[in-house]
Structure 1
């Protein structure tokens, strides 16, 4: 065996060892879902197959949403071995190993949040979600399906590659509409001939085909159950006054799924299209019990309709009009799967099995880590696995065995390039995680290293002496979680420089004493608008909107906007304070651990075992970055503006994990950074060689605002170029150079910023020149040491002390 193969075997053996813990924890998932979930082995197979109740209330033993299809097991094709072999899971960890293997998803805590946070019910009740589900589940607030329980509930949920929404009578149709758009349908503007264009978007409302039923009309209802990070169950029901309560259509919405699948219970299926059906053809069955139809639409697309029909029932479809396909009779417990036909053979091979939900698990061993999105499934098919679509950043990090699962065809996504088809129930990704980046200035510029000359130390010391004399309370005791956090973090970095770079005990003592006092106001929750614990969505929110009645106050914090941005600053400040205090022999970390951990749990709870917060509220383990939009209706779906404040929150989690000795948290933060680096440089930070975003958009260098359905090179607060580019820079920290490569920064500076930066007179000027240190630290250092430098060039979250220390710390000075 080669050395490389031996290392690979050791690595994956370690991964499988750690999964023992995860599978044991799975037995307690019933505390999270509204119905129990377990893991069942398939007889004669080496692969474990999850069997899940979908969490529908008032379940029946014979008919209804929780009958047989949800409890059937998966047939495993022996020709496609499972990626995870459970026979290896009975090993135990070797505690003496030189490099321990760390489970990335260990709960931070499972206790009820402190009574420090007053309990509230959120003013926005999730529509279509019962009180029982609210009580027994955690509801993600920044997930792909928020549109389905806020506002008018008729805006899209972007599953990728498909888009679905509740059609409430448009075109006379009632049901779940399905759309898939291609890059040829995108609109570019405002001048489509420009290069770069300012934005591109995909059309919405093109109802290619929809799940419906003859019984559906304006009195139908849509309820939601089993909310999770990757999926939710949609239950559509006709009027109970007309038809009683035993009729429903159950559709699990799962990210990346190759089919949209629905289970009909005591309904007469109907399928509608606003595009129009040109023809409907019955085709040969791909499998016993599966009926196949192909619907050709007037736009040139074709859609496959596959029905898995229990023995003893008849099922046939026919065109009743150019816009309607109707089943011949009412059916029960019939699974219907719909997909656009790109590769008909692949659809045939995978029809009959569908994804019901997904989970994620992962480990890290030193700087090597892996994470797996594991899809739970129901039914059976010829392939023995699911048809899934992977995003570009998944594919480039796939474990080598994934190549055998590739099907060789793609579908366009909305804003993340083309997705690749795989026959698998697991997406397994491998990353090298940044274990070496900690608190000290760090750079990826080749040949550069810290050089704190005596002159540099003198200049940094002069700046620190002046800046520690500022009024910390005046800058931190604000009515904004965001701006308070930025100020706390600014002063934390001054304290760091004073202690670890200047090694000046006097400046350190002054800075740390003042900063601890300012931070303690938040740790006591006695700021202007104290934080509350929301029993509805199970999270920590500012009380500002409860007082003002404006959901957008403090950037929408009360409605779960931007939590990772805002709390990320607080967590990072706490990590720095704790790092310094621990070095001085203090106990600050122990005294503040519960408070800071609560903030981490709100934005990045790593486990469904912790029932007091949703799993990974902000960061999407599917998309590879966070979504900032919370409980707000949006036709273009979730969005994120500031990539840099996103990775700053992951960096903060990594450092806080280091300070408190939580190896899982530290490694998880590092894994998030590794994934963000890959995803952000695919979708949000565009090098000249980027092939994922449209060629006529990449010259913008940054996405501006990345939505699920459009990309707009702008900001929510202005259209000046320094705003658009700069919001993807702040704050400049040691991890900035890890995400923003020297080559990318140089391209952005040369093409967009070098002519603008010298003309600025406000804090954006300092931001741009601090970012310059990521590829040209010498020019950055010269700017901040220039006799013409003014404090007006410093943003409210920035200090001259840190900018000087960073530029010098990454090789900006030689004398």
Structure 2
């Protein structure tokens, strides 16, 4: 785990607020006067009433959640609810314990409906499902009139409540080769010709009959649970039998302490409680002599995310050492480098002119805002304040039009249907602003503006006070922690509390579920929110944002950073890839949305930009950094490689080959639109 030095801990949590005049320290994330951007009239957003129960429509709805496919189009694309792929199609629900296919280009879980559950003689066979409730760790899916599925992430069992007496149909794409009930007819062991063995549990005796591919019941009401035996070892069956009588119906993640996340489940039945943990859970799980938690190291399920391990305990606490949230470099800049940085600063600041910005894209414009803010912090760190007035003018000129709604080319708007921000460009075009209008990439885009706002509020407290409501409205779009019908935004819009990282894709149906490409921009979003907290003396915001920054980094290092000796993915994929391109809920891709797999400098760069102090923590494993750079450098020999993308490779090379990287950086003829020579020199000269 990352070590947080005590002085940085105090600094990060705002006990010495850098701008105490802006606000008194608060215990809640507050906006002061409520602010709402102008109401939107979107022509491209789906109707949330199609699948959400009517009682949920008065509350903010999730737009990047693990079950998003269930509420888009016809709701029939599978979703990965560990360890099963789940597909709901009209009046039935299909369960698959997926096979993982992997080669050098991608790894993917293959959906094949091992069992499909429905009611016999359903009067409405074409009726769609309804989401009757949801939370951080679960979704409840109803197939009316009688079937309710509690889909809880990490449960080795699929739990179905039969609400009223009904004859059940449980069909399979395979052949039933063995069917063995116990003496009470409340447990059935079912073997299929694909080599799988499943166990069906019933809360009371149930009469089942079967043919080659279908199991049917007589009238039954109560609870049935279905679980695959992932291993022929008899211990697995014993474990499943032992814990089959206690089942979860919902689960939530609690962010009540500075450095931990607690999982709490609502449970029914009796006995001890079994769930599955992913590799990052196991790394962070707080298990000590006083804990009631027991890890079953020899009880595991396969997953594209790594082995899922059994954990017994009523609730979990995931603890971590928090990363440092600092305005400036962690180790400081070498003083002998000041003249070279100042020379670059003078030129970069000279070129700042908000009126010369031609882009109207919320993403690319935000990058330019953050680039200017970086210049301010570099100048502040090395004590060269002569350039500060012009930087301040630039930041005001770029940020205020977006906050005031006076920018001619675009604007932030408020969507009342799903409750969140969209842009004018995205309100009638699904591709506008990279899909921001259908809730793609919100944390990426807004994170850049928050960075600029935080810096400007730091150096100009009067300006910060004036624009605090707008700043908080932007931040809360993806940082709202509470869940209430009265709130303007959904809870933690992008953050996945079970995987402990964000998803970028919004209200678009994908075969492989949600996805995220750029972990570094996700880290930047939460880091920038923490800086907002520092600028406004908001301890609770700093606390939450620091924790999200920390676990987002852990997740990036776990699932995106592929070390040479990693056992997480297949041998071929690991051999050919040092970093994942696009990480899907159900797939790992080597390609990017904008580049093929062989253009490795793009893959490295999109996992590093923007270069800020938090990037040092994200790439703190020097051995891995060297592997990544060595893997990438041959790509720079291609004709036409962009100077900006070269710069990101050299920046990481500078972690372990400082002088060599510096020489290469001095020869660059250009930089990424969110980067600058000043920032590159600051990075190289702050490597310690």
Asked if Structure 1 and Structure 2 have the same fold, meaning a TM-score greater than 0.5 normalized by the shorter chain, the answer is yes
Q: 1:758 to 1:591 in 2, by over 3 A?
A: farther
Q: CA deviation at 1:409?
A: 3.4
Tell me the TM-score normalised to structure 2 length.
0.89
Q: Does 1:439 align with 2:315?
A: no
Aligned with residue 97 of structure 2, among 162, 166, 180: 180
SS of residue matched to 2:502: coil
CA distance in 2, matches of 1:408, 1:749: 35
Q: Does 1:803 align with 2:680?
A: yes
Contact 1:376–1:425 (CA<8 Å) still a contact in 2?
Answer: no
Match of 1:307 in 2: 202
Q: Does 1:782 align with 2:675?
A: no
Aligned with residue 87 of structure 2, among 165, 176, 189: 165
Match of 1:236 in 2: 143
Q: CA deviation at 1:757?
A: 6.5
Q: Does 1:772 align with 2:653?
A: yes
Structure 2, unpaired ranges of 5+: 1-14, 16-25, 231-235
Q: Does 1:604 align with 2:493?
A: no
Query: Over residues 117-147 of structure 1, what are the superposed CA-to-partner deviations in whole Å (9 max), with x where a residue is unaligned?
Result: 3254673113633573353332211111111
CA distance in 1, matches of 2:616, 2:352: 31
CA distance in 1, matches of 2:356, 2:183: 71
Q: 1:588 to 1:772 in 2, by over 3 A?
A: farther
Residues 552-561 or 682-691, more deviating: 682-691
Query: Over residues 494-525 of structure 1, what are the superposed CA-to-partner deviations in whole Å (9 max), with x where a residue is unaligned?
Result: 12222332x23331111112211211111112
SS of residue matched to 1:337: strand
Match of 2:644 in 1: 763
Match of 2:29 in 1: 108
Contact 1:280–1:293 (CA<8 Å) still a contact in 2?
Answer: yes
Contact 2:611–2:679 (CA<8 Å) still a contact in 1?
Answer: no
Q: 1:565 to 1:774 in 2, by over 3 A?
A: farther
Aligned with residue 344 of structure 1, among 220, 226, 237: 237
Contact 2:139–2:152 (CA<8 Å) still a contact in 1?
Answer: yes
Aligned with residue 743 of structure 1, among 623, 632, 635: 623
Q: CA deviation at 1:748?
A: 0.9
Aligned with residue 365 of structure 2, among 484, 491, 498: 484
Q: 5 Å matches for 1:336-375?
A: 336-342=224-230, 343-364=236-257, 369-375=259-265
Contact 2:279–2:307 (CA<8 Å) still a contact in 1?
Answer: yes
Match of 2:20 in 1: none
Structure 1, unpaired ranges of 5+: 1-94, 96-104, 169-173, 190-196, 238-246, 444-448
Contact 2:395–2:452 (CA<8 Å) still a contact in 1?
Answer: no
Q: Does 1:465 align with 2:346?
A: yes
Match of 1:557 in 2: 436
Contact 2:86–2:95 (CA<8 Å) still a contact in 1?
Answer: yes
Q: 1:116 to 1:639 in 2, by over 3 A?
A: closer
Aligned with residue 317 of structure 1, among 204, 208, 211: 208
Query: Over residues 469-500 of structure 1, what are the superposed CA-to-partner deviations in whole Å (9 max), with x where a residue is unaligned?
Result: 22532465632111111000001111222233
Q: CA deviation at 1:199?
A: 1.0
Q: CA deviation at 1:655?
A: 1.5
Tell me the TM-score normalised to structure 1 length.
0.76
Q: Does 1:711 align with 2:618?
A: no
Q: Does 1:729 align with 2:608?
A: yes
The one of the two structures with greater contact order (alpha-carbon pairs below 8 A, sep at least 6) is: 2
CA distance in 1, matches of 2:244, 2:320: 32
SS of residue matched to 2:572: coil
Match of 2:22 in 1: none
Q: Does 1:294 align with 2:183?
A: no
Match of 1:617 in 2: 493
Count of aligned pairs between the two proteins: 647
CA distance in 2, matches of 1:470, 1:233: 55
Q: 5 Å matches for 1:676-695?
A: 676-695=552-571
SS of residue matched to 1:724: helix
Match of 2:161 in 1: 263
CA distance in 1, matches of 2:565, 2:539: 36
Q: CA deviation at 1:411?
A: 3.7
CA distance in 2, matches of 1:132, 1:106: 34
CA distance in 1, matches of 2:33, 2:186: 50
Across the aligned residues of Structure 1 and Structure 2, the Cα RMSD in angstroms comes to: 2.4
Query: Over residues 669-693 of structure 1, what are the superposed CA-to-partner deviations in whole Å (9 max), with x where a residue is unaligned?
Result: 2212222232222211122232222
Q: Does 1:390 align with 2:277?
A: yes
Q: CA deviation at 1:645?
A: 0.8
CA distance in 1, matches of 2:299, 2:262: 21
